[in-house]
Amino acid sequence: MSQIRGKQIRDVSVDLEKLSGTGSVTFNSGASMAFPSGATLTTATNNISNLTDVVNKEYVDSIASGLDVKESARLLSDSNITGTYANASSGVGATITTSVATLNIDGIAVANGNRVVLTGQSNAAHNGIYDVSGVGSAVVFTRSTDFDGNPSSEINGGEFVFIKEGNLYADTGFVVSTPNDTITVGSDPINFTQFSAAGVVSPGAGLVAGTGTDFDVNTGIGLTISSDAVRLTNTNVTSGNYGASGTVSTFTVDPQGRLTAAADVAISITSSQVTDFDSSVLSSVFEVANFVDSSSVDFNVTAGATVSADVKVNTGTGLAVGSSGVEINYGTGLTVSGSQLVVDATTFGYH
């Protein structure tokens, strides 16, 4: 058996192989241990059980945050994976067997050997961390050995897993929020809650991802960005008043109800645009209601044109309307000769 001499320890000439095995190293009160930059001291997290065990940073961080950190997973599904669940031996080797050869989770196709987290199973007792197999024939999810309830205290709330990929859940962390005590795998519900989202912020309504960590306003029709302010896009309408005598205003409105064009157009009526003048216009002018005593109507008729209209006249005492116009309503002893009213000589015996 080889011996380690004190000079070898002082000169750092001891092979690491000679330090392997069982036993303990005792340091006196003045001893110190230093590691160069880049050196590591590791102890499997799940093997830490004694009060004097050396621990690594991962274990210290998990204890400081009250979490039981699990190996990270590639993807997380927050919706139900359809398949047949078999609990195997109280959760050890439990499987969800699907009937599909390929499957996407969070927008990414799973591959054999992937470690995934299922948080949205319709039966929450089937949630958990699984390993993928069977891609290409029938995809199978098998409970991961660090999340199958063996040992019995393996799942009791506070288990944390980091998600590495996915369209929605990349770079996020989830923790088992319930139960808060040891569970029976396959019977008791396992619920996950998002614990962290380092570097992941999704744009909401009206925003789009910009450069780096910036978000930009997703401007629609009629909006623009100027000097970091959202403004209305200028239209072709010139500010001012519209409408005047002899003109009519015209307007154009877009689907958003904005005025995009405005103008004044001169009123111009051609003769072809006026029809049925006699019956529509003249008859309206020569209504009885338009005339009173001593009324007069003037006509201007251009050469070659004619204007005709019926005028209703109310006759007074001794007058009547005849076939040719207003006539004297004469009685016995009177007659009309030419344009004169004369006494009928026969009636009065004149010869």
As a whole number of angstroms, the distance between CA 172 and CA 197 comes to: 4
Q: Centre a 10 Å sphere on the Cβ of residue 221 and count the other Cβ atoms it contains.
A: 9
As a whole number of angstroms, the distance between CA 147 and CA 329 comes to: 125
Nearest Cα residue to 232 out of 216, 218, 220, 215? 220
Report pTM: 0.46
Q: What is the pLDDT of residue 178?
A: 82
128 touches 143 (CB < 8 A): yes
Q: What is the pLDDT along the chain (351 residues), one digit of tens a residue?
A: 555 555 555 555 555 555 555 666 666 767 777 766 666 666 555 566 666 666 666 666 656 556 788 999 999 999 999 999 999 999 999 999 999 999 999 999 999 999 999 999 999 999 999 999 999 999 999 999 999 999 888 898 889 999 999 998 998 999 998 877 888 999 999 999 998 876 556 777 777 777 656 778 887 777 788 887 888 777 777 777 777 777 888 888 877 777 778 888 888 777 666 666 555 555 665 565 655 555 555 556 566 666 565 555 666 666 776 766 667 777 776 777 777 777 766 666 655
Q: Centre a 10 Å sphere on the Cβ of residue 73 and count the other Cβ atoms it contains.
A: 24
For residue 249, the cross-strand partners are: 264
Structure tokens at 100: 């599909």
Q: What is the pLDDT of residue 258?
A: 78
Q: What is the pLDDT of residue 175?
A: 92
Determine whether 177 is exposed, middle or buried from the number of CB atoms within 10 Å of its CB (0-12, 13-18, 19+). middle
Show the CA angle centred on residue 204, arms to residues 201 and 206, nearest 5°: 135
Residue 218's identity, in one-letter code, is: N
Q: What is the pLDDT of residue 300?
A: 61
Structure tokens at 58: 């991962």
Q: Distances from the Cα of 73 to the Cαs of 146, 165, 264, in angstroms?
A: 12, 8, 69
| 179 upstream amide cis, omega within 30 of 0 | yes
Q: What is the pLDDT of residue 191?
A: 95
Q: What is the pLDDT of residue 138?
A: 96
Q: What is the pLDDT of residue 253?
A: 84
Nearest Cα residue to 143 out of 161, 134, 130, 154? 130
